[in-house]
Amino acid sequence: MNRIVKKTQLSENVFRMTINAPQIAEKREAGQFVVIMTEEKGERIPLTIVDSDRDEGTVTIIFQVVGKTTMCLAAMKKGEDLFAVLGPLGMPTEMEDFGTSVVVGGGVGIGVAYPIIKALKEAGNKVIAIIGARTKDILILEDEIREVCDRLIVSTDDGSYGVHGFVTDVLKDLIDSGETINRAFAIGPVPMMKFLCEVTRPYNIKTIVSLNPIMVDATGMCGACRVSVGGKTKFACVDGPEFNGHDVDFNLLMNRLRMYNVEEEEARKGCKCHE
């Protein structure tokens, strides 16, 4: 059992939770994730480890409520126990001093970007973070990210805060301004990652993306998380979740993410967690 030691709401549908998981806190590295089960017969969902505290024996996750299991997780309170937290899973982010690294986070992907930004800075990089959201009210972690990077650019789609426009436009402007970028990271909704890779491709800027295919066992056995990278089949849970974005077949990923839409909608409607 893993106890919830802290829970805060970051925006209408996004929550941060700190969970007691000493063995995971001891070993985890940037880019890795946990699989969470809220109850014995529940679904297993993958969530990125956003932060950890070895002394306290805790890990922190940030999640957006999108369906049944994230609804159930959001309904849980401080002091309650999760049925299981498994990890750390996945390959850690390849980390070195690349020179200047740009990390782009969109929506709840900003939470996934945070540990990468922090680790890049610790590895000696000059880190430029670009974070974006549809509107100001759902923008998360601005202060935390400002603290761990060299430069932060914020954008909103509706212009309610920061630069008016998409993170793709901000990155394009940054490149056009003559900034040398040695490595880029893109984390967020699949279309955002796809278009960001098209921005960096002509400039040959290696761009790492963090993929979020549906996962079941998360140990490389079931094949649910298969993605196509450079024409080869990879399992995101053990080979990823990070890959060279210029080689990823994003259309296949988007199709596979829609595979269980009907079942997910039924599960969402039948969910009684909030009652």
Chain positions contacting ligand FAD, by CB under 6 A: 33, 43, 45-48, 62-64, 66-70, 108, 111-112, 212-215, 241, 257, 264, 267-268
**What's the helix, strand, coil split of the chain in %, to 5?**
30, 30, 35
Structure tokens at 201: 């491709």
Q: Does 91 bind ligand FES (CB under 6 A)?
A: no
What angle do the packed helices 250-257 and 190-200 form, to 10 degrees?
Answer: 180
Amino acid at 212: N
Structure tokens at 142: 């601005």
Judged by CB under 6 A, the residue of 163, 216, 271, 273 near ligand FES is: 216
Q: Quick one: 56 or 254, whose CB is closer to ligand FAD?
A: 254
CB 184 to ligand FAD: min, Å? 19
Looking at 71-79, 83-91, 115-123, 216-224, which segment touches ligand FES (CB under 6 A)? 216-224
Looking at the chain, list the stretches that DSSP marks H as alpha helix, in order from N- to C-terminal side: 22-27, 68-75, 109-122, 142-148, 167-176, 190-200, 236-239, 250-257, 261-270
**Within 13 Å of residue 272, how many CA atoms lie on the same side as its CB?**
0
CB 52 to ligand FAD: min, Å? 14
How far is the C-alpha of 22 from the C-alpha of 79, rounded, in Å?
16
Centroid of chain to Cα 99: 23
| C-alpha triplet 270, 272, 275: angle, nearest 5° | 145
Q: Does 233 bind ligand FES (CB under 6 A)?
A: no
The number of beta carbons lying within 10 Å of the beta carbon of residue 144 is 16
Q: Does 235 bind ligand FES (CB under 6 A)?
A: yes
CB 84 to ligand FES: min, Å? 15
How far is the C-alpha of 161 from the C-alpha of 169, rounded, in Å?
15
220 binds, among ligand FES, ligand FAD, none (CB under 5 to 8 A by kind): ligand FES
CB 7 to ligand FAD: min, Å? 14
64 binds, among ligand FAD, ligand FES, none (CB under 5 to 8 A by kind): ligand FAD
Q: Does 217 bind ligand FES (CB under 6 A)?
A: yes
Q: Does 223 bind ligand FES (CB under 6 A)?
A: yes
Q: Quick one: 191 or 223, whose CB is closer to ligand FES?
A: 223
Q: What does the per-residue mask of binding to ligand FES show for 245-264, with x meaning CB under 6 A?
A: --------------------
Number of H helices, E strands in the chain: 9, 17
Q: Quick one: 76 or 224, whose CB is closer to ligand FES?
A: 224
Q: Quick one: 8 or 233, whose CB is closer to ligand FES?
A: 233
Summarize as ranges the residues that interact with ligand FES (CB under 6 A): 215-218, 220-225, 235, 237
